[in-house]
Amino acid sequence: MLTQQQADNLLKAAKTLINCTHINFPKPGDSLTLEAETSTGNDSFLLDINRKGKISLSKCTLQNRHMRTIILLRVDLVGPPHTNPDGQEIPCPHIHIYREDYMDKWAYPLPEIMPTNISDLGQVLLDFLKYNNITNVPLITYQGGGLV
């Protein structure tokens, strides 16, 4: 578990994608994990692009994991509302941000935290990479359509 200060510092840190000159955006049913690290190389991250939902072509979850299992940030574009520990219900799209003692159990309305065009998954990914302070955002290509 991280302290809130550690999590905030990790989220704010400039990060570089490792061995990534372009992103081939996954088609529905697929997923992709990108590796990133801070400029010092002391901290590593996994950025997941998950389109494994079978019901909706627009289903997509993006997340930033530290130390393989600690979710610092997760964007849910399609799905049921999330109920926060205080009982407040947050509809999709929403963003989970690490909170000390709760990990990724708190969600916030996506437009309030990371404004984006949720009807364009490529734009959502670009905004997610920028929000995560990725300094070498690559070209994004699409596999065989299915991107909405």
Dist. CA 73–CA 128, nearest whole Å: 9
Dist. CA 29–CA 49, nearest whole Å: 11
Dihedral pair phi/psi, residue 39, rounded to 5° = -60, -30
Dist. CA 96–CA 114, nearest whole Å: 11
- The model's confidence at residue 37, banded by pLDDT at 50, 70 and 90, is very high
Enumerate residues 6+ apart whose C-beta is below 8 A from 66.
Answer: 2, 10, 43, 44, 45, 72
Dihedral pair phi/psi, residue 113, rounded to 5° = -105, -45
The pLDDT of 113-119, averaged and rounded, is 95
The pLDDT of 103-112, averaged and rounded, is 97
- The model's confidence at residue 115, banded by pLDDT at 50, 70 and 90, is very high
Give the rounded percent of residues in the chain with a pLDDT score beyond 70. 93
Whether the CA torsion 121, 43, 137, 18 is positive or negative: it is negative
pLDDT digits over 53-91, tens only?
666 667 899 999 999 999 999 999 999 999 999 999 999
Give the rounded percent of residues in the chain with a pLDDT score beyond 90. 81
The pLDDT of 6-27, averaged and rounded, is 95
